[in-house]
Amino acid sequence: AYFPGGANDRLSCAASSDFLFGSASLSISFSLYLLARPAAGTSCRLINVGTNGRSSAFCVATDEWGNLGGYVPVGGKNAVFSGGGEVSLNVWQDFQVSVFNGNALVFKNGLIIVERTGLDMPSGGTTNIVRIGGDQSGYPSVDAPLYGYLSQLRILCKSGRNDSSYVPDSGPFAEGFSLGVCAIGAGPAAGPARAAGLEVR
């Protein structure tokens, strides 16, 4: 479980070619307890894989109205966002953003809240870094920090099935996996009840 202090805090994982999605299927799921929405005119990139402005990147963000979605952070036909303020304050909610063959879905508590076709998937690049709780890209409109709690994060990416003889190679989550912590807050004296766990796969 991740309890940031809400002021330039984030978790980060070192860049790895394992975070290049290409045309693969992609699913990012997590539980979110939001204490405050981003300020007017800004959004918070809750999960950012890659670098701002790169076609190999993908973001999951929430905005000042409580909408949630995912997108490739370059120009073009590359975003899916809800439009009904589905991210409520002061309550745990489960979300998932999935893209498969260009078909994008956003789920809330297991139900589809928005979908679209023709979403551009990330492409190109050689390595990607993962940032959780804020992007710190240098662009104020998307640099709002996370004011709340994040738990049970899973990032799944797969281009197809492996046969029974497949043996995973070494990657960022092999032996010795660690997350870098940047100015993380101490957390509240008594946080909201939720099963703890941060899993990035």
61-85 pLDDT per residue, tens: 999 999 999 998 887 668 999 998 9
Q: Which two tokens stand for residue 28?
A: 């990012």
- Supply the pTM of this predicted model: 0.77
pLDDT digits (tens, 9 = 90+) for 11-47: 888 888 777 777 678 889 999 999 999 989 989 999 9
Q: Which of 71, 37, 67 is nearest to 145 (CA)?
A: 37
Q: Dihedral through CA 28, CA 34, CA 38, CA 39, nearest 10?
A: 170
Contact 70/13 with Cβ under 8 angstroms?
no
Q: Which residues contact 110 (CB under 8 A, 6 or more apart)?
A: 94
The whole-number pLDDT of residue 52 equals 81
Q: Which residues face 111 on adjacent strands?
A: 108
Residue type, 6: G
Q: Is pLDDT of 183 > 60?
A: no
The whole-number pLDDT of residue 165 equals 62
Q: Which two tokens stand for residue 120?
A: 């551009």
Q: Is pLDDT of 90 > 70?
A: yes
The confidence band for 50, taking pLDDT boundaries of 50, 70 and 90, is confident
pLDDT digits (tens, 9 = 90+) for 109-158: 999 999 999 887 777 778 888 888 887 777 778 888 888 888 888 888 76
Contact 108/86 with Cβ under 8 angstroms?
yes
129 vs 197, more confident: 129
End-to-end CA distance of the chain: 15
Share of the chain above pLDDT 90, in %: 32
